[in-house]
Amino acid sequence: MTDTKGDRSKRPNKQTDPDAFLHIVDENDDGIIVRGAKIHQTGFLNSHRAIIMPTLSLRPGEEEYAVSFGVDTNEKGITLIYGRQSCDTRKMEKGKLDIGNYKYGGQEIFVIFEDVFIPNDRIFMKREIKFSGELVNRFAGFHRQSYGGCKVGVGDVLIGATSLISEYNGVEKASHIQDKLVEMVHLNETLYSCGIACSSLGFQREAGNYEMDMLLANVCKQNVTRFPYEIGRLAEDIAGGIICTLPSEADFNSEVVGSLLKKYLSTCNEVSVEDRYKVLRFIENLTMGVASVSYRTESMHGAGSPQAQRIMIRRQANLESKKKLIKEILDIN
Amino acid sequence: MTDTKGDRSKRPNKQTDPDAFLHIVDENDDGIIVRGAKIHQTGFLNSHRAIIMPTLSLRPGEEEYAVSFGVDTNEKGITLIYGRQSCDTRKMEKGKLDIGNYKYGGQEIFVIFEDVFIPNDRIFMKREIKFSGELVNRFAGFHRQSYGGCKVGVGDVLIGATSLISEYNGVEKASHIQDKLVEMVHLNETLYSCGIACSSLGFQREAGNYEMDMLLANVCKQNVTRFPYEIGRLAEDIAGGIICTLPSEADFNSEVVGSLLKKYLSTCNEVSVEDRYKVLRFIENLTMGVASVSYRTESMHGAGSPQAQRIMIRRQANLESKKKLIKEILDIN
Amino acid sequence: MTDTKGDRSKRPNKQTDPDAFLHIVDENDDGIIVRGAKIHQTGFLNSHRAIIMPTLSLRPGEEEYAVSFGVDTNEKGITLIYGRQSCDTRKMEKGKLDIGNYKYGGQEIFVIFEDVFIPNDRIFMKREIKFSGELVNRFAGFHRQSYGGCKVGVGDVLIGATSLISEYNGVEKASHIQDKLVEMVHLNETLYSCGIACSSLGFQREAGNYEMDMLLANVCKQNVTRFPYEIGRLAEDIAGGIICTLPSEADFNSEVVGSLLKKYLSTCNEVSVEDRYKVLRFIENLTMGVASVSYRTESMHGAGSPQAQRIMIRRQANLESKKKLIKEILDIN
Amino acid sequence: MTDTKGDRSKRPNKQTDPDAFLHIVDENDDGIIVRGAKIHQTGFLNSHRAIIMPTLSLRPGEEEYAVSFGVDTNEKGITLIYGRQSCDTRKMEKGKLDIGNYKYGGQEIFVIFEDVFIPNDRIFMKREIKFSGELVNRFAGFHRQSYGGCKVGVGDVLIGATSLISEYNGVEKASHIQDKLVEMVHLNETLYSCGIACSSLGFQREAGNYEMDMLLANVCKQNVTRFPYEIGRLAEDIAGGIICTLPSEADFNSEVVGSLLKKYLSTCNEVSVEDRYKVLRFIENLTMGVASVSYRTESMHGAGSPQAQRIMIRRQANLESKKKLIKEILDIN
């Protein structure tokens, strides 16, 4: 969905480079030719096909930008460029503990369309600018709804890791530790509540599909742009400074200094030093490493940056009906 | 539900005055005699009957405090004492505008039971300490759930009033005003989401009744102890200092200074000065006046003070299952 | 300083009523005649003389509004109208405990100037629009600086009252109570730090007077628009719901129900019930009663509303010099 | 200062491994032998000498842990182990842009003392447990004071970078962008105010040295555990998702895809694509990369974790004097 956007103060058709937003550059009887780029693509690399759509509501004169279609991810003319993530090259190091989370992960892709041909039967929207705003808002609504599940699951694991490290450090019974864990859970479950609420108040469209509650989906995402940061901050608080001064796995296993490190990283008797090492790396991974990309920055910008939700909240807020309430109470008019 | 509690550092049966928590003082074949007080009673004054229950989980030795029953609110031995609220006597003044909200309101009652007789057929719990904790938690759960609707409705009216006053002042288009209104809506709808979520995830008990999701009901109420304060703060911000320096209705209608006040309280051409006066008083009413009691302090303490919810969130958080998640990811154990 | 401002979306000279901002309406050899109103005047009532100045920076065409002068507060043509405050009439009730703070208080006045004559030797500014902006900003700067002392003192007393009520209730050793008191102190001392900082970085003008640091004075006041609200919220949390359901002093001393109330308001053995009553009323007074006007709403709007400080912070922020720092680090340009 | 601490629920002399806190293991006429480790050492690697001191207040029976001395950083028996930081290996990659900040940086060291001999003339404290608490508190006080300058400087550069990227993206005039920049400045200057305040209220000890105000130094550091996180969050908001999906410098300069990337990373006409690349990497560096270690986690834990400051704030708060204020106002006692 996301175009590169060029100069944000200008509309798509006023950009110096017309390709700053993906658009139709040519057409024949069999289909269209498109050019442009879609960035921040999370699942593109591990998908066979993708659906492309505009990134904003379009106006008369911007018809060539109103285009949506399906495409094979290895279609001729498509170039995928791997994005960098914090700590990405740890995945290529010899060991596995410094990766933080050696089982799971993801990767964003910069996707460039150089005159890609899209046959007619794969085109969903072609120059219908009047539907573009609704398409963007609805898709964004579904995407914002989903964050009330996605980031909450990650939050659960981070809370688990933080709880575990407090146990490993011997502080799990301190009242301020317990209180911070409660706060982490409280914030995470508030996000979950928002996800559940916009789903529960969903409704069926005439076409048969179900749609979330648009206002609450935006409220959900808006909270997602805030709470994971605070949850992460509390995790860093409880885990301790060691998450960012911990020596490397190579040192940990070194014949020269390994035993010294193991000695000094020991905490409670029943705790395995390696397990503690793993959990510390995992918390680093989620707060500063590879996974912070998806837990923090993607929480901020995925499915639209915070201001996009605020615009939608304002539109959906129905302030006029709220003014009516107060007028009725106070016999105004 | 709420007892006066005496010294909060002591259990009911260790209080200097055994009546600090309502309890059974005598019993015969037909019923029991109870003594004590229940305070912060919001609907008691306008109800025919009330259900009384313990305020905390009880332990062996505290059986006399494990008592729940129905009672007529004008039963012999019951004394009702009206509580004071901020600005309460404005309701007894000559005019009506200074009341803030002259149509709606409520009142808390201090209820004293001096050896009230409760016949057997109105007793729901008598010394069954083992059920007292569950009774308290479930009732509190339902009550905490309800705040996700109750306070949100009040919030809607406050947002309406704030939106209206910004229009009356000619500032409704200022970007910072719009942004603050969006924030008020966002916070209010987050509370609503919490109310919807703990209801949507409700389930049916074997007895046939439905129960809310206990964790999310506590999360809901915990947010209610925070957001109405911030919503109120933003309302005060937008409304302006005039909410707390506005002269009295008597002055407003005075032959001597009334016309001067009307002249200087005028804002935009199409705005009635009296309507503006009403809305300003309404916002004062909700942020500092009679209604601040229910919108602010009751949001804090109604259905249990914030710490009560935190204890429940900790109990329901299931940290062990979250630790399991991280152990699985990191191959620990 | 504060004019009534009429329609906030219009400049002074575009208002329907030209008196919405105080201005010169006539002039002779001996002085000028002014008309308009100044509102939210905190010390006016208990002062012999006052200095009047414009409320905003003025532009060409608005010369008549660029006026500053000294005036006796009982000068011919001046009308003072008492503003209402939350719970104001409690001061006129028979008892004194329900007042909350029966020793200290203040009162805002609505001051109307109906063609008041100002002799030449009392005029400080007459139509010099080019100085009006600087005058407003500097005065506001001094005023904003002062809030780092004024509201901190009130905060100290509120923290003392909250600490005392926690002792009276027998909960002062609970970890969550201690933590909330620490937070109250922390926020209050942050305000104090801001007051000290903008004073410490003050400098001497050529005229010999000292001036605060303008950026930090605005930062100080901006924090004052936030932290007293949170400090008050924590006070309400610790004090308990009783602050807004407590029966009246008349009931407390009544022959009929007084002894019952005293019995049920008792907490710890060594605590006087009346002392507890006083402290609860004091906290009500500061969070919802008369003093909430000065502790909360005046913290918000006194010396300029929050947005006024944000405008000044932006102007003083010197973003260009900060951009230079990053350009130097990154060899840009 | 910081020991590895073993099981945090146990005192130094109750640890399974007595070396969990650095201590004296032997002594002769010429000096002492010490063993243990000091971690999170920021400047150790680039210093010739270091001063070692205890990490907590010590009690009778813990005399061997009350030890402070000067030592050459390459003394016999000392082993330095490099800690890992997020994105550390980028410094070893071929290019320099992906480093984020290729001119400046730092590195934490894990320092192990294996029976290091300390001659008498370098020993400052030897078993004087009664001074250990005061030493720790005062040193921490100075350290906490310094954060009001250190992190504020970093904040200035981050604000500059964020301001610059908003210009590069063409959004610097959007009201929500301006408002967020104001908030970043406001928070950063609040930290600065705290640093200035605890310094301004400093006083001279009899020995001639100057000492900061202890309460305000702790208040300063407590704010440092919060605001850089929010400043960073706002930077991520303004910079956009591209900070964590930006392809590598190698791709950027690649013959195959470099020109495509340059085309699609262009924004406004006058903006150099490479400059934009640099600024984005710099923001990544400070929010997730190498420098997030010092800007975020060190802000949290350096000079003591948040709870350490809260304990000091409680001790310095002088709640008794605040209770006295309220008692005087209310004629209590």
- How far is residue C268's CA from residue B8's CA, in Å, rounded to a whole number? 8
Q: In A, which residues are within 8 Å of D44 by CB distance?
A: none
Does A301 contact D240 at a Cβ distance shorter than 8 Å?
yes
Q: Span C151-155, mean pLDDT?
A: 98
Does B181 contact A279 at a Cβ distance shorter than 8 Å?
no
pLDDT at A111: 98
Q: Span C300-307, mean pLDDT?
A: 96
* Cβ(C158)–Cβ(C295) below 8 Å: yes
Q: In D, which residues are within 8 Å of A176 by CB distance?
A: 307, 310
Does D245 contact A83 at a Cβ distance shorter than 8 Å?
yes
Distance from CA of B174 to the nearest CA of A (A): 14
Q: In C, which residues are within 8 Å of B265 by CB distance?
A: 4
pLDDT at D84: 96
Handedness of CA C244, C246, C250, C251 (dihedral sign): positive
Helix orientation angle between D306-316 and C175-200, rounded to the nearest 10 degrees: 80
Distance from CA of C292 to the nearest CA of D (A): 16
Cα angle for residues D164, D166, D169 (degrees, 5° grid): 110
| pLDDT higher than threshold 90 for residue D309 | yes
Distance from CA of D290 to the nearest CA of C (A): 15
| pLDDT higher than threshold 90 for residue D19 | yes
ipTM topping 0.90: yes
Across B169-187, b (16+ Cβ under 10 Å) vs e yields bbbbebebbbbbbbbbbbb
| C-alpha distances in Å from residue A303, one per residue of A76, A141, A221, A228 | 28, 8, 8, 15
Q: Residue B139's Cα: distance from chain center in Å?
A: 15
* Cβ(D194)–Cβ(C190) below 8 Å: yes
What is the three-state SS of chain C?
CCECCCCCCCCHHHCCCHHHCCEEEEEECCEEEEEEEEEEECCHHHCCEEEECCCCCCCCCCHHHCEEEEEECCCCCEEEEEECCCCHHHHHCCCCHHHCCCCCCCCCEEEEEEEEEEEHHHEEEECCHHHHHHHHHHHHHHHHHHHHHHHHHHHHHHHHHHHHHHHHCCCCCCHHHHHHHHHHHHHHHHHHHHHHHHHHCCEECCCCCEECCHHHHHHHHHHHCCHHHHHHHHHHHHHCHHHHCCECHHHHCCCCCHHHHHHHHCCCCCCCHHHHHHHHHHHHHHHCCHHHHHHHHHHHHCCCCHHHHHHHHHHHCCHHHHHHHHHHHCCCC
Does B108 contact C293 at a Cβ distance shorter than 8 Å?
no
pLDDT band at C132 (very low <50, low <70, confident <90, very high): very high
Distance from CA of A145 to the nearest CA of C (A): 31
- How far is residue D34's CA from residue B171's CA, in Å, rounded to a whole number? 69
Does B176 contact D176 at a Cβ distance shorter than 8 Å?
no
* Cβ(B224)–Cβ(B297) below 8 Å: no
Across C181-207, b (16+ Cβ under 10 Å) vs e yields bbbbbbbbbbbbbbbbbbbbbbeeeee
Does A288 contact D284 at a Cβ distance shorter than 8 Å?
no
Cα angle for residues D134, C167, D320 (degrees, 5° grid): 40
The phi, psi pair for D168, rounded to 5°, reads -60, -35
pLDDT at C183: 98
User: Which of A181, A139, A142, A125 has the alpha carbon at shortest distance from A158?
Assistant: A181
| pLDDT higher than threshold 90 for residue B310 | yes
- How far is residue D53's CA from residue D69's CA, in Å, rounded to a whole number? 7
- How far is residue D10's CA from residue D314's CA, in Å, rounded to a whole number? 23
Q: In B, which residues are within 8 Å of A321 by CB distance?
A: 160
Q: Which residues of D touch B (CB under 8 A)?
A: 175-176, 179
| pLDDT higher than threshold 90 for residue D269 | no
pLDDT at A333: 85
pLDDT band at B274 (very low <50, low <70, confident <90, very high): very high
Does D314 contact C282 at a Cβ distance shorter than 8 Å?
no
| pLDDT higher than threshold 90 for residue C333 | no
Residue C194 CB-half CA count within 13 A: 35
Q: Residue holding tokens 């320099």? A: D96
Q: Span B126-150, mean pLDDT?
A: 97
State the Rg of chain B over Cα.
24
pLDDT band at B333 (very low <50, low <70, confident <90, very high): confident
Q: Residue holding tokens 């659960």? A: A156
Q: In A, which residues are within 8 Å of C179 by CB distance?
A: 175-176, 179
Does A326 contact B157 at a Cβ distance shorter than 8 Å?
yes
pLDDT band at C210 (very low <50, low <70, confident <90, very high): very high
Residues in chain A with pLDDT values less than 50: none
Q: In C, which residues are within 8 Å of D103 by CB distance?
A: 329
Tokens of D309: 């400051």
Tokens of C184: 């109250």
| pLDDT higher than threshold 90 for residue C167 | yes
Q: Span C208-226, mean pLDDT?
A: 98
User: Which of C62, C70, C57 has the alpha carbon at shortest distance from C127?
Assistant: C62
C236 vs D333 pLDDT, higher one: C236
Distance from CA of B326 to the nearest CA of A (A): 6
Tell how strand B109-119 and strand B123-126 pair up.
unpaired
pLDDT at D152: 98
| pLDDT higher than threshold 90 for residue B269 | no
pLDDT at C311: 97
pLDDT at C138: 96
Cα angle for residues C2, C153, D216 (degrees, 5° grid): 115
User: Which of B145, B282, B225 has the alpha carbon at shortest distance from C236?
Assistant: B225
pLDDT at A269: 87
Distance from CA of C33 to the nearest CA of D (A): 41
Per-residue model confidence as pLDDT tens digits over C10-67 = 999 999 999 999 999 999 999 999 999 999 999 899 999 999 999 999 999 999 999 9
Q: In C, which residues are within 8 Å of D156 by CB distance?
A: 322, 325
Which site among B82, B176, B249, B267 would you substitute to test the C interface, given the most C Cβ atoms closer than 10 Å to its Cβ?
A: B267
Tokens of C309: 């400080």
Is the pTM above the cut of 0.90?
Answer: yes
Q: Among B190, B321, B326, whose Cβ lies nearest the Cβ of A282?
A: B326
pLDDT band at C269 (very low <50, low <70, confident <90, very high): confident
Q: Span D288-296, mean pLDDT?
A: 96
In chain A, count of helices (H) and strands (E)?
11, 9
Does D9 contact A305 at a Cβ distance shorter than 8 Å?
no
Per-residue model confidence as pLDDT tens digits over D129-175 = 999 999 999 999 999 999 999 999 999 999 999 999 999 999 999 99
Does D196 contact C196 at a Cβ distance shorter than 8 Å?
yes
Per-residue model confidence as pLDDT tens digits over B32-75 = 999 999 999 998 999 999 999 999 999 999 999 999 999 999 99
- How far is residue A110's CA from residue D244's CA, in Å, rounded to a whole number? 11
Distance from CA of C73 to the nearest CA of D (A): 30
Looking at every residue in chain D, the average pLDDT score rounds to 97
